[in-house]
A and B are shown apart, each in its own frame.
Chain A
């Protein structure tokens, strides 16, 4: 079945460092890909999405590119802030299917 694999955490970085969180997926069809973020004490929020190959999703300085050839959707940010500390979930939703399939989540700590 469909699945999402993302790098284990926690990831600890200093402020202004470059961030990459790796995500790869397995899907039978042509899924839409998402990154969700959960800040402390809050619900999941959609951070960005991409619906077809080579699409780039971006929001709040974060970017991820839908790479069909490598089945990847890595999350990147050029300069992280303390306020980016959160748990990040890579996810997919297959065509014609409404449920979202999540990875295990990566906890990110940014040190001032």
Chain B
């Protein structure tokens, strides 16, 4: 069974540009999460989808970030326009059932904004 995959693995963009990150969860997992680790800090929750609906987006830093999960399969996270402080590693995770059910993480996308 394939794990959670993320694309690209690394993105380098200039301030003001747009970047779209993609996450493919494990097949059959209704729950999809985005997290972010800014250098030297904690991994922080961004948002949680249940199928195509946003269950919790309390961690989204501002309206430059837009997450979608059309059709309840893969998800995209768009940053527009990117700022320097958006640099970090963006992790996606998925789980089958809400609760203490294990979240399976992808390898992350390293975003560098110059």
Contacts and interface: CB of A to CB of B under 8 A. Distances in A.
A5 B96 CA distance: 28
B40 A104 contact: yes
A66 interface: no
A15 to B, nearest CB: 27
Contacts of B31: 98
B40 A101 contact: no
Size class of the contact patch on chain B: 20 to 34
Contacts of A42: 107
B56 A99 contact: yes
A99 B105 contact: no
A45 B3 CA distance: 11
Nearest to A41: B107
B86 to A, nearest CB: 19
A100 interface: yes
A46 B102 contact: yes
B106 interface: yes
